[in-house]
A and B are shown apart, each in its own frame.
Chain A
Amino acid sequence: MKTTFAALVAATITMAAPAMADLTVPNLSYRTGPYAANGIPYADGFNDYFTLLNERDGGIGGEKVQVPECETAYNTEKGVECYEATKGQAALAYNPLSTGITYQLIPKVTADKHVLYTPGYGRTSAANGKVFEWVFNYPANYWDGASVAIKYLLSQNGDDLKGKKIALVYHNSAYGKEPIRTLEELSKKHGFELSTIPVDHPGQEQKSQWLQIRRDKPDYVIMYGWGVMNQVAIQEAVNIKFPMENFIGIWWSGSENDVGPAGEGANGYKSISFHGVGSNFPVYADLQKYVFDAGKAAGPADELGTVLYSRGMYAAMIISEAIREAQTMAGHSAVTPEEVRDGFEHLNLTEERLTELGLPGFAQPIAATCEDHGGPGSAIMLQWDAVAKTWGPVSDWITADADVIDPLIAEDSAAFAAESGIAERCK
C-alpha cells in the first residue's frame, strides 16, 4: 500500500505539462496573492496575443505557439520551480514579471541558455549586452523611469528643481530599491532634496509612511509600488489631501486597478508608461474578433485596452517579433532558444513594423545590438481622468538622461562581471 502510494506520488510529480508544439513560450504568471490584481491583466494580455497569432496567422512563421502557464504568486521559490518545470520544453523566452525571480533566473538562464526578457523591470544593468548575454530589458528600465520622471518635473518647473523636495515611496525589495542610486545622482545634478520612504511587502499598511509625507510636505512624490501597495498608497495620498498631480508612479504603479479604489480622489494622478494606452489601436479589433468573440480569451472582455493588459500584450509582441527575426535569420521556422537569442539581439522594431502589427505609435522603435540590450529608454507621462476613467498622455516621449544612467549601468554590470567572472563580449 505504502509503495503503491509512493509510486503514485512519484508518477504525479514527474507528470509534466502535455506534449508541446515546436514554439514554447512559458508564462510565469501570478493570479493569486497580494500582487494578483496586477498580475492577472498582464498574464491575460500575454496569453491573448499569442492566441491571436495562432488563430489569425496560424502561429509565427507557420509554427503554432504554446503558452504553458505556471503560477508563481510573485514568490521566488515558486518561480524557481516554474522555471525548472518548463525549461525542459525548449522554452524560447522567459518573462516572469518579477524582479526577485529575475535575479534568481539571470545566472540560471545564462547556464541553461534560455532568453530572459524583462521589459521595464528586472536587473537594470542587464541593458549592457556586453555582460548579460541572455538577458534583454528593452525598451526601458527602472533607472530610465526615474530619469524620465525627473525630466518631466524639470519641464514643469522651468528646468530648475533647486530646493524642491522629492520623496520616493518604494516597495522595500530589489525592485523598489533600484531607482535610489539614480535618483541620488540626479538630486546631486539638479539640486533637489531626495527622501526615501520604504514600504514593506505587501504594503497594505502605509499609515506611518504617509504621515511622514504629510509632515515633511515634499513637493513631489514618486512611487515604485506594485500590487496592493499601489492602491493603498493612492488611497492614503487622497486621505492626506496630497495634490494628485504632484504624485507620479512608475509604469508598474499606474493601472486602472491601482487608481480605481480611490475613486474620484485619484483624479490627476500621473504615471509613466513605455507604451501607448487606450483601445484605439487596430490590433484590438483583431483581438476582439479572433480571441474575445471566439471565446478563447484568457480573461474578461473589459480588460481589453487596459494599461497592464496592453503591457502583457507588448511583451508578447516583442517576443513574437524576436522569434520571427530568429526564423528569418536561421532560415527555418522551428527555432531553438539559441537562435531566438540572436533574434532578440538583432531585433529591429520600426514604426512601419508597428503599423503593420496594428499598433501605430504604440511604442518607441527598438534597434537592439550586441552591446545594447536596453533599448531607447524613453517613456510618456500619463494622467488619470477619474470621471472618464481613462489614462491620457500629458507629455511627448521623454528620453532618459543617458549621461547619468550609462555610467551607472557600466559600473553595476562591471561589478556583476567581476563577481561572476564573465568576460565582456561584442569586441
Chain B
Amino acid sequence: MFYREAGDFKTTYREDSQTFPIKFDRLRFYAVLAVAYGVIPLFINDYWANAVFVPFLIYAIAAIGLNVLVGYAGQVSLGTGGFMAVGAYACYKLMTAFPEVSIFIHVLLAGGVTAVVGVLFGLPSLRIKGFYLAVATLAAQFFLVWLFNKVPWFYNYSASGQINAPDRTIFGVFVTGAQTSAMAKYMFCLVMLTIVAVLARNLTRGTVGRKWMAIRDMDIAAEIIGVNPLTTKMTAFMVSSFFIGIAGALFFSVYLGAAEVGEAFGIQKSFLILFMVIIGGLGSIFGSFAGAAFLVLLPVLLKNLLVGALNWPTDLAAHIELMIVGALIVIFLIAEPHGLAQLWRVAKEKLRLWPFPH
C-alpha cells in the first residue's frame, strides 16, 4: 500500500531515471536528509559528535568505498586500512604544503591520490582472483603502513612520526584542529558523505555499475558480451579508493586530529570495514550505512549500558562487549547471510503487499 510502483506516474524520462524512482523511497530519503541536516545539528554536542556521529559518517564513506569494490565489482580487498592511510597522509602533506587552499579541496585531492595508488595496487586483479587477490591487497596494506613509517618525508620529519592536523577553516568556520565545534565537524563529514553516497548510488545504477556487476557475476561471460575487464576492474579500484581516501583524510584531519599509521590504519581497520560491508550487505549502499552504524554504535551503546547504567567494572564490560558483538555477528550472519540490507529488502516486500499478504 505504501511502497509500490503502481500509481506512481512518471511523465518524463527525467522522472523515470531519478535516483529513487519509487515515491516512498524518495520521501524517506528526503526525510533522512531533513533530519540529518536540519535536526541533528541543533542538538549535537561534543560527545555525540566525536563518539557517535563523526566516526559513523566516516566509516560509512569507507564502507561505501569498499562496497563498490567488494560488493559491486566482486574484487576482494584487505587493503582498506592502507588506502585510508594514503588518504590521510596525502591530506596531511597537502594541508601543510598548501595552507592557503581550502581543506575541502584537499580532502578531494587526497581521494584522488588514493585513487591513483588504488589503481596501481589493483593491477594484479587482472590476473588473479578471489583469495589470491585478497593476499595481494593484504600486501598493499602492509607495504603502505611500512612506507609511511619508514620514509620521514611523509610525516614532515617530526620526531615521533605522528602527523598532526593543523587548524583549517571553511567559510571562516574551523573544521579541523581543536577549536572545531561539534556541529562543524558533523556538517563537514555529512556533506562529504552525501556527495559520496549520491555519487555511488548513481554510479551503481548506470553503465559503470552494471559493468562492475557483470564482472562480479561471471567475468568470462561479461567479457564475451563486450565488457572490458581492464577498464571495469580499474574503474572499480579507482572509485573505491577515491571514496576510501576521502574517508582516510577525514578520519585523520577531522576526527582524530593526530594519527600514527600503524595504530590508526593497521590491519584491524581493513577487517573492521570489511565486516561492516559484509554485515551491512554486499552490493548495497544502504547496507554500507547499516553496517557502519552497527559496528560503530553497538560498542558505544554496550559500553554506556554496562559501565554507565549497570556500573560494571570497565574490564569486564570491555570483554563482555567483545563477546556480545562477536556473538551477534555470528548469529546475524547465520540468520541473515545477506546482511542488514536484506532485512530492509524483506521489509519493503512486505510493505508492497500490505495489508493483503497474498
Contacts and interface: CB of A to CB of B under 8 A. Distances in A.
Contact of B264 (A76, A108, A415): A76
A16 B164 contact: no
A126 B161 CA distance: 16
B50 to A, nearest CB: 5
Interface centre among A17, A70, A107 (most CB of B within 10 A): A107
Contact of A84 (B46, B313, B317): B46
A104 B46 CA distance: 15
A385 B161 CA distance: 36
Q: Which 5 pairs across A and B sit closest by C-beta, in order of nearness?
A: A31-B315, A107-B178, A111-B178, A174-B160, A71-B314
Contacts of A236: none
20 contacts: A12-B304, A12-B308, A13-B52, A13-B297, A13-B301, A13-B304, A17-B307, A31-B315, A70-B314, A71-B307, A71-B318, A75-B263, A76-B264, A80-B50, A88-B46, A103-B258, A172-B149, A172-B262, A415-B158, A420-B166
Interface residues of B, number: 46
A200 B51 contact: no
A255 interface: no
Contact of B314 (A16, A18, A29, A201): A29
A73 B317 CA distance: 12
Contact of B55 (A77, A112, A125): A77
Contacts of A71: 303, 307, 314-315, 317-318
A80 B49 CA distance: 11
Interface string A346-360: 000000000000000
B169 interface: no
B179 A17 contact: no
B167 interface: yes
Interface string B241-278: 00000000000000111111011101000000000000
A81 B159 contact: no
Interface in B175-212: 177-179
Contacts of A12: 301, 304-305, 308-309
B162 interface: yes
Contact of A100 (B50, B178, B179, B260): B260
Contacts of B167: 420-421
Interface string B21-62: 000000000000000000000000011101110010000000
A419 interface: yes
A190 interface: no
A9 B318 contact: no
A177 B256 contact: no
Contacts of A106: 258
Contacts of B305: 12, 15
A87 B55 CA distance: 19
A311 to B, nearest CB: 19
Contacts of A180: 159
Given A71-B317, A201-B266, A419-B164, 7 more contacts: A13-B301, A15-B305, A16-B308, A31-B315, A81-B300, A111-B178, A112-B178
Main secondary structure of the interface of A (DSSP, over half): helix
A81 B46 CA distance: 10
A112 B177 CA distance: 12
Contact of A412 (B159, B300, B303): B159
A75 B303 CA distance: 15
B319 interface: yes
Contacts of B159: 124-125, 177-178, 180-181, 412
Contacts of B311: 18
Interface string A160-193: 0000000000001111011011000000000000
Contact of B50 (A32, A81, A99, A412): A81
Contacts, number: 127
Nearest to A71: B314
A267 B178 CA distance: 47
Interface in A67-119: 69-71, 73, 75-77, 80-81, 84-85, 87-88, 99-100, 103-104, 106-108, 110-112
A69 B303 CA distance: 12
Contact of B318 (A31, A100, A125): A31
A123 interface: yes
Nearest to A125: B159
Contacts of A100: 162, 260, 263
Q: How large is the interface on A (under 10, 10 to 19, 20 to 34, 35 or more residues)?
A: 35 or more
Interface string B302-345: 01110111010111011100100000000000000000000000
A177 B51 CA distance: 29
A305 interface: no
A112 B313 CA distance: 28
B316 to A, nearest CB: 9
B214 to A, nearest CB: 36
Interface centre among A15, A29, A174, by most B CB within 10 Å? A174
Given A71-B315, A77-B55, A123 B50 contact: no
A239 B56 CA distance: 46
Contacts of B307: 17, 70-71
B257 A201 contact: no
Nearest to A198: B149
A173 B145 CA distance: 12
A9 B255 CA distance: 23
B51 A419 contact: no
A400 B300 CA distance: 43
A226 B295 CA distance: 28
A88 B258 CA distance: 22
A50 to B, nearest CB: 16
B344 to A, nearest CB: 12
Contact of B177 (A18, A99, A104, A107): A107
Contacts of B55: 77
A103 B322 CA distance: 27
Nearest to A411: B159
A123 B314 contact: no
A310 to B, nearest CB: 21
A32 B319 contact: yes
B167 to A, nearest CB: 7
Contacts of A412: 159
A394 B52 CA distance: 50
Contacts of A73: 318
A111 B179 contact: yes
B256 A84 contact: no
B50 A15 contact: no
A24 B13 CA distance: 63
A104 B262 CA distance: 15
B195 to A, nearest CB: 24
A349 B317 CA distance: 38
A201 B261 CA distance: 11
A83 to B, nearest CB: 8
B263 A76 contact: yes
A328 B178 CA distance: 31
A412 B162 CA distance: 13
